[in-house]
Protein backbone atom coordinates (compact mmCIF):
# COMPACT_ATOMS: atom_id res chain seq x y z
CA UNK A 1 0.00 0.00 0.00
CA UNK A 2 1.32 3.43 -0.92
CA UNK A 3 2.04 5.72 2.04
CA UNK A 4 -0.03 8.86 2.58
CA UNK A 5 0.90 12.30 3.78
CA UNK A 6 0.18 12.88 7.45
CA UNK A 7 -0.80 16.47 8.35
CA UNK A 8 0.33 17.64 11.76
CA UNK A 9 -3.03 18.26 13.50
CA UNK A 10 -1.85 20.79 16.08
CA UNK A 11 0.10 23.05 13.73
CA UNK A 12 -1.17 25.02 10.78
CA UNK A 13 0.39 27.02 8.00
CA UNK A 14 0.21 30.79 8.23
CA UNK A 15 -0.29 30.93 4.45
CA UNK A 16 3.04 32.54 3.53
CA UNK A 17 5.11 29.64 2.26
CA UNK A 18 5.78 25.94 2.75
CA UNK A 19 9.20 24.37 2.27
CA UNK A 20 9.47 20.78 1.09
CA UNK A 21 12.48 19.18 2.78
CA UNK A 22 14.16 15.78 2.54
CA UNK A 23 15.63 14.70 5.87
CA UNK A 24 17.73 11.58 6.28
CA UNK A 25 16.47 9.50 9.16
CA UNK A 26 18.93 9.72 12.08
CA UNK A 27 18.17 6.14 13.16
CA UNK A 28 18.58 4.72 9.64
CA UNK A 29 20.57 6.80 7.17
CA UNK A 30 19.28 4.66 4.29
CA UNK A 31 15.81 6.14 4.83
CA UNK A 32 14.65 9.65 3.97
CA UNK A 33 11.69 11.57 5.40
CA UNK A 34 9.78 14.21 3.45
CA UNK A 35 8.61 17.12 5.59
CA UNK A 36 6.53 20.24 4.91
CA UNK A 37 7.75 23.18 6.99
CA UNK A 38 5.99 26.52 7.46
CA UNK A 39 8.70 29.18 7.04
CA UNK A 40 7.00 31.79 9.21
CA UNK A 41 6.62 29.61 12.30
CA UNK A 42 9.05 26.74 11.71
CA UNK A 43 6.20 24.27 12.30
CA UNK A 44 6.13 20.91 10.52
CA UNK A 45 2.68 20.92 8.91
CA UNK A 46 2.93 17.60 7.08
CA UNK A 47 5.28 14.67 6.65
CA UNK A 48 5.83 11.40 4.84
CA UNK A 49 8.42 9.22 6.52
CA UNK A 50 10.42 6.17 5.62
CA UNK A 51 11.22 6.34 1.91
CA UNK A 52 14.24 4.46 0.64
CA UNK A 53 17.43 6.34 -0.08
CA UNK A 54 18.44 7.62 -3.48
CA UNK A 55 15.30 9.55 -4.29
CA UNK A 56 15.39 12.53 -6.59
CA UNK A 57 12.77 14.84 -5.08
CA UNK A 58 11.22 17.98 -6.57
CA UNK A 59 8.17 20.12 -5.83
CA UNK A 60 6.11 22.49 -7.94
CA UNK A 61 2.56 23.81 -8.09
CA UNK A 62 1.55 22.06 -4.88
CA UNK A 63 2.70 18.56 -5.94
CA UNK A 64 5.80 16.63 -4.90
CA UNK A 65 7.59 14.24 -7.24
CA UNK A 66 9.85 11.44 -5.99
CA UNK A 67 12.01 9.36 -8.32
CA UNK A 68 13.84 6.42 -6.68
CA UNK A 69 17.37 5.61 -7.74
CA UNK A 70 18.05 3.19 -10.60
CA UNK A 71 17.82 -0.45 -9.63
CA UNK A 72 20.31 -2.51 -11.53
CA UNK A 73 21.65 -1.73 -14.98
CA UNK A 74 18.47 -1.07 -16.91
CA UNK A 75 15.53 -0.97 -14.54
CA UNK A 76 14.13 2.22 -13.02
CA UNK A 77 11.61 2.27 -10.17
CA UNK A 78 8.29 4.06 -10.69
CA UNK A 79 7.98 7.81 -10.27
CA UNK A 80 5.78 8.69 -7.28
CA UNK A 81 3.70 11.86 -7.18
CA UNK A 82 2.39 13.13 -3.83
CA UNK A 83 -0.46 15.58 -3.37
CA UNK A 84 -0.20 17.11 0.13
CA UNK A 85 -3.61 18.77 -0.21
CA UNK A 86 -5.44 15.43 -0.51
CA UNK A 87 -2.89 12.99 0.89
CA UNK A 88 -3.01 10.94 -2.32
CA UNK A 89 0.02 9.14 -3.74
CA UNK A 90 0.17 8.12 -7.39
CA UNK A 91 2.72 5.86 -9.05
CA UNK A 92 3.38 6.43 -12.74
CA UNK A 93 5.10 4.05 -15.19
CA UNK A 94 8.81 3.36 -15.16
CA UNK A 95 11.01 5.21 -17.60
CA UNK A 96 12.61 3.40 -20.50
CA UNK A 97 16.07 2.00 -20.03
CA UNK A 98 19.14 4.03 -20.88
CA UNK A 99 21.54 2.97 -23.61
CA UNK A 100 24.30 0.47 -22.96
CA UNK A 101 26.80 3.10 -21.81
CA UNK A 102 27.47 4.00 -18.22
CA UNK A 103 24.93 6.71 -17.47
CA UNK A 104 23.24 8.66 -14.73
CA UNK A 105 19.81 10.23 -14.72
CA UNK A 106 18.60 13.58 -13.45
CA UNK A 107 14.98 14.70 -13.18
CA UNK A 108 13.25 18.07 -13.11
CA UNK A 109 9.57 18.58 -12.37
CA UNK A 110 7.65 21.57 -13.69
CA UNK A 111 4.28 22.96 -14.70
CA UNK A 112 3.02 24.60 -17.89
CA UNK A 113 1.10 27.76 -16.83
CA UNK A 114 -1.23 27.91 -19.84
CA UNK A 115 -2.51 24.33 -19.60
CA UNK A 116 -1.76 23.52 -15.96
CA UNK A 117 -0.03 20.31 -17.04
CA UNK A 118 2.72 18.83 -14.89
CA UNK A 119 5.71 17.41 -16.72
CA UNK A 120 8.78 15.43 -15.69
CA UNK A 121 11.96 15.90 -17.75
CA UNK A 122 14.62 13.22 -17.51
CA UNK A 123 18.20 13.89 -18.66
CA UNK A 124 20.57 10.98 -19.26
CA UNK A 125 24.28 11.74 -19.09
CA UNK A 126 26.25 8.92 -20.72
CA UNK A 127 29.97 8.50 -20.43
CA UNK A 128 31.95 6.37 -22.84
CA UNK A 129 35.40 6.32 -24.45
CA UNK A 130 34.68 9.74 -25.97
CA UNK A 131 33.25 12.91 -24.45
CA UNK A 132 29.99 12.68 -22.41
CA UNK A 133 26.67 12.91 -24.23
CA UNK A 134 23.18 13.75 -23.01
CA UNK A 135 19.72 12.66 -24.12
CA UNK A 136 16.24 13.44 -22.77
CA UNK A 137 12.82 11.97 -22.19
CA UNK A 138 9.66 13.68 -20.98
CA UNK A 139 6.41 12.55 -19.37
CA UNK A 140 3.13 14.41 -18.87
CA UNK A 141 1.33 13.51 -15.64
CA UNK A 142 -2.23 12.50 -16.33
CA UNK A 143 -1.64 12.44 -20.07
CA UNK A 144 -2.81 9.73 -22.41
CA UNK A 145 -1.06 6.52 -21.39
CA UNK A 146 1.38 8.48 -19.20
CA UNK A 147 4.26 7.29 -21.36
CA UNK A 148 7.80 8.54 -21.50
CA UNK A 149 8.60 9.92 -24.93
CA UNK A 150 11.80 11.20 -26.54
CA UNK A 151 12.73 14.86 -26.17
CA UNK A 152 15.54 16.82 -27.88
CA UNK A 153 19.02 16.72 -26.39
CA UNK A 154 20.46 19.90 -24.83
CA UNK A 155 22.32 22.19 -27.26
CA UNK A 156 25.42 21.80 -25.06
CA UNK A 157 26.17 19.75 -21.98
CA UNK A 158 24.21 20.99 -18.96
CA UNK A 159 24.93 20.59 -15.26
CA UNK A 160 22.77 17.95 -13.59
CA UNK A 161 24.70 16.86 -10.49
CA UNK A 162 24.50 20.02 -8.34
CA UNK A 163 20.89 21.02 -7.51
CA UNK A 164 21.64 24.74 -7.20
CA UNK A 165 22.97 24.79 -10.78
CA UNK A 166 19.44 24.41 -12.14
CA UNK A 167 16.07 26.01 -11.45
CA UNK A 168 12.50 25.49 -12.64
CA UNK A 169 10.27 28.50 -13.25
CA UNK A 170 6.69 28.40 -14.61
CA UNK A 171 7.02 26.79 -18.05
CA UNK A 172 10.83 26.48 -18.14
CA UNK A 173 13.71 24.47 -16.70
CA UNK A 174 17.06 26.31 -16.65
CA UNK A 175 20.55 24.77 -16.34
CA UNK A 176 24.10 26.07 -16.15
CA UNK A 177 26.15 24.78 -19.05
CA UNK A 178 29.27 22.69 -18.47
CA UNK A 179 30.92 22.77 -21.89
CA UNK A 180 33.81 24.97 -20.68
CA UNK A 181 34.98 25.79 -17.18
CA UNK A 182 35.04 29.50 -18.09
CA UNK A 183 31.41 29.62 -19.18
CA UNK A 184 29.95 30.31 -15.76
CA UNK A 185 27.26 32.52 -17.26
CA UNK A 186 25.93 30.14 -19.93
CA UNK A 187 22.36 28.96 -19.20
CA UNK A 188 20.38 26.48 -21.30
CA UNK A 189 16.56 26.66 -21.03
CA UNK A 190 14.03 23.91 -21.79
CA UNK A 191 10.53 25.02 -22.80
CA UNK A 192 8.11 22.63 -21.07
CA UNK A 193 5.14 23.63 -23.27
CA UNK A 194 6.96 23.20 -26.60
CA UNK A 195 9.07 20.34 -25.21
CA UNK A 196 12.24 21.68 -26.78
CA UNK A 197 15.37 23.58 -25.82
CA UNK A 198 15.68 27.25 -26.69
CA UNK A 199 18.12 27.55 -29.58
CA UNK A 200 20.09 30.38 -27.98
CA UNK A 201 21.87 30.11 -24.66
CA UNK A 202 20.90 32.69 -22.06
CA UNK A 203 23.87 34.76 -20.94
CA UNK A 204 24.18 35.62 -17.26
CA UNK A 205 24.22 39.17 -15.87
CA UNK A 206 28.02 39.30 -15.53
CA UNK A 207 30.86 38.36 -17.90
CA UNK A 208 32.87 35.38 -16.70
CA UNK A 209 35.89 37.62 -16.15
CA UNK A 210 33.96 39.69 -13.59
CA UNK A 211 32.63 36.85 -11.45
CA UNK A 212 35.68 36.57 -9.13
CA UNK A 213 34.66 33.09 -8.03
CA UNK A 214 34.49 29.46 -9.03
CA UNK A 215 31.41 27.73 -10.40
CA UNK A 216 30.47 26.36 -6.98
CA UNK A 217 29.80 29.93 -5.79
CA UNK A 218 27.06 30.49 -8.38
CA UNK A 219 23.48 29.30 -8.30
CA UNK A 220 20.17 29.55 -10.11
CA UNK A 221 16.98 29.78 -8.06
CA UNK A 222 13.29 30.22 -8.73
CA UNK A 223 12.30 33.14 -6.51
CA UNK A 224 8.54 33.72 -6.45
CA UNK A 225 8.21 32.33 -9.96
CA UNK A 226 11.15 34.27 -11.46
CA UNK A 227 14.60 33.05 -12.44
CA UNK A 228 17.28 34.57 -10.19
CA UNK A 229 21.05 34.39 -10.68
CA UNK A 230 22.93 34.38 -7.34
CA UNK A 231 26.62 35.27 -7.08
CA UNK A 232 28.60 34.86 -3.85
CA UNK A 233 31.37 37.41 -4.39
CA UNK A 234 33.89 36.50 -1.70
CA UNK A 235 36.31 39.24 -2.75
CA UNK A 236 33.70 41.90 -2.00
CA UNK A 237 32.08 39.86 0.81
CA UNK A 238 28.67 40.31 -0.88
CA UNK A 239 25.79 38.15 -2.07
CA UNK A 240 24.46 39.64 -5.31
CA UNK A 241 21.14 38.64 -6.87
CA UNK A 242 19.83 39.38 -10.36
CA UNK A 243 16.31 38.60 -11.62
CA UNK A 244 15.65 37.73 -15.27
CA UNK A 245 13.42 40.56 -16.51
CA UNK A 246 13.08 39.40 -20.15
CA UNK A 247 13.93 35.90 -21.34
CA UNK A 248 13.97 36.69 -25.06
CA UNK A 249 16.26 39.70 -24.65
CA UNK A 250 18.31 38.16 -21.84
CA UNK A 251 17.82 41.25 -19.69
CA UNK A 252 18.71 41.02 -15.99
CA UNK A 253 18.05 43.45 -13.14
CA UNK A 254 20.04 43.43 -9.91
CA UNK A 255 17.58 43.24 -7.04
CA UNK A 256 19.84 42.75 -4.02
CA UNK A 257 23.44 43.15 -2.93
CA UNK A 258 23.78 41.96 0.66
CA UNK A 259 26.93 41.98 2.72
CA UNK A 260 27.65 38.45 3.83
CA UNK A 261 27.56 39.45 7.49
CA UNK A 262 23.88 40.39 7.01
CA UNK A 263 22.94 36.79 6.21
CA UNK A 264 25.81 34.46 7.13
CA UNK A 265 27.30 33.87 10.57
CA UNK A 266 31.02 34.36 11.14
CA UNK A 267 31.51 37.35 8.82
CA UNK A 268 30.89 40.04 11.43
CA UNK A 269 34.58 40.85 11.86
CA UNK A 270 35.57 40.31 8.24
CA UNK A 271 37.59 43.28 6.96
CA UNK A 272 39.74 41.67 4.26
CA UNK A 273 38.50 40.08 1.01
CA UNK A 274 38.12 36.32 1.23
CA UNK A 275 39.86 33.93 -1.21
CA UNK A 276 37.95 32.61 -4.22
CA UNK A 277 37.15 29.43 -2.29
CA UNK A 278 36.88 30.57 1.36
CA UNK A 279 38.03 28.29 4.13
CA UNK A 280 35.27 27.56 6.59
CA UNK A 281 36.87 29.11 9.68
CA UNK A 282 33.86 28.60 11.92
CA UNK A 283 31.77 30.63 9.52
CA UNK A 284 29.02 29.89 7.04
CA UNK A 285 29.92 30.27 3.38
CA UNK A 286 26.74 29.83 1.32
CA UNK A 287 23.12 31.01 1.54
CA UNK A 288 20.46 29.90 -0.94
CA UNK A 289 17.49 32.30 -1.34
CA UNK A 290 14.21 30.38 -1.35
CA UNK A 291 11.32 32.84 -1.43
CA UNK A 292 10.19 36.38 -0.71
CA UNK A 293 7.45 36.54 1.90
CA UNK A 294 4.39 38.77 1.60
CA UNK A 295 5.97 41.40 3.87
CA UNK A 296 9.17 41.61 1.80
CA UNK A 297 11.39 39.45 3.99
CA UNK A 298 13.67 36.99 2.19
CA UNK A 299 13.93 33.34 3.23
CA UNK A 300 17.38 31.70 2.92
CA UNK A 301 18.54 28.12 3.32
CA UNK A 302 21.98 27.77 4.93
CA UNK A 303 22.87 24.10 4.57
CA UNK A 304 26.38 24.07 6.07
CA UNK A 305 27.15 23.43 8.83
CA UNK A 306 23.82 23.05 10.63
CA UNK A 307 20.99 23.22 8.09
CA UNK A 308 19.08 26.39 9.04
CA UNK A 309 16.09 28.21 7.52
CA UNK A 310 16.87 31.90 8.01
CA UNK A 311 14.70 34.97 7.32
CA UNK A 312 16.33 38.29 6.38
CA UNK A 313 14.45 41.56 6.93
CA UNK A 314 15.59 44.29 4.49
CA UNK A 315 13.99 46.96 6.68
CA UNK A 316 16.25 46.21 9.65
CA UNK A 317 19.10 44.49 7.72
CA UNK A 318 18.96 41.70 10.28
CA UNK A 319 18.19 38.01 10.03
CA UNK A 320 16.53 35.45 12.29
CA UNK A 321 16.78 31.68 12.39
CA UNK A 322 13.29 30.23 11.94
CA UNK A 323 14.02 26.52 12.26
CA UNK A 324 17.04 24.22 12.37
CA UNK A 325 16.66 21.19 10.11
CA UNK A 326 20.02 19.51 10.74
CA UNK A 327 23.02 18.83 8.56
CA UNK A 328 21.39 15.80 6.89
CA UNK A 329 18.53 17.86 5.42
CA UNK A 330 18.15 19.33 1.94
CA UNK A 331 15.47 21.74 0.72
CA UNK A 332 13.96 20.37 -2.50
CA UNK A 333 11.11 22.77 -3.27
CA UNK A 334 8.41 25.03 -1.96
CA UNK A 335 4.78 25.96 -2.38
CA UNK A 336 2.40 28.56 -1.04
CA UNK A 337 0.47 27.66 2.10
CA UNK A 338 -2.81 27.80 0.18
CA UNK A 339 -1.53 24.99 -2.07
CA UNK A 340 -0.55 22.67 0.75
CA UNK A 341 -3.97 21.91 2.16
CA UNK A 342 -2.89 22.86 5.69
CA UNK A 343 -3.77 26.57 5.63
pLDDT at 253: 93
**What span, in angstroms and rounded, lies between the C-alpha atoms of 125 and 265?**
37
Mean pLDDT of 165-191: 81
**Confidence band (pLDDT; 50, 70, 90) for 270?**
low
pLDDT at 295: 86
Query: Does this model's pTM top 0.85?
Result: no
Q: Give the CATH fold of the 6-340 domain.
A: Neuraminidase (2.120.10)
CB atoms within 10 A of CB 216: 14
Mean pLDDT of 205-230: 79
Higher pLDDT among residues 161 and 281, named by residue: 161
Residue ranges per structural domain of the chain? 6-340
Is residue 257 a contact partner of residue 243, using CB atoms and an 8 Å limit? no
Cα distances (angstroms) measured from residue 143 to each of 148, 194, 335: 10, 15, 23
Closest residue by Cα to residue 243 from 233, 232, 234, 256: 256
**Measured on CA atoms in the order 103, 104, 110, 116, is the torsion positive or negative?**
positive
Choose the weakest-confidence range: 26-30, 64-68, 96-100, 146-150: 96-100
pLDDT tens, position by position, 32-73 = 777 888 887 788 887 776 555 555 677 777 788 877 655 444
User: What is the pLDDT of the chain when averaged over all its residues?
Assistant: 77
Choose the weakest-confidence range: 24-28, 79-83, 87-91, 173-177: 24-28
Amino acid sequence: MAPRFAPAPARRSTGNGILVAAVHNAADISRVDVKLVDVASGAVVGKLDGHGTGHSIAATGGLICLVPATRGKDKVAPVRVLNPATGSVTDIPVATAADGKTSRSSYVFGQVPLTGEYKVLRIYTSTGPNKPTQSCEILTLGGRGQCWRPAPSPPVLVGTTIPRHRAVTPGFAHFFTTSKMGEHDGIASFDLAKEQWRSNLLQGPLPSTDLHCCRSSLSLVALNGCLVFVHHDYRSCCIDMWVLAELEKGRWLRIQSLHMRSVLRGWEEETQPAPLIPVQRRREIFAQPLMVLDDGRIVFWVAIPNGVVRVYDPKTCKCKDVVGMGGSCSIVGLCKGSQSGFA
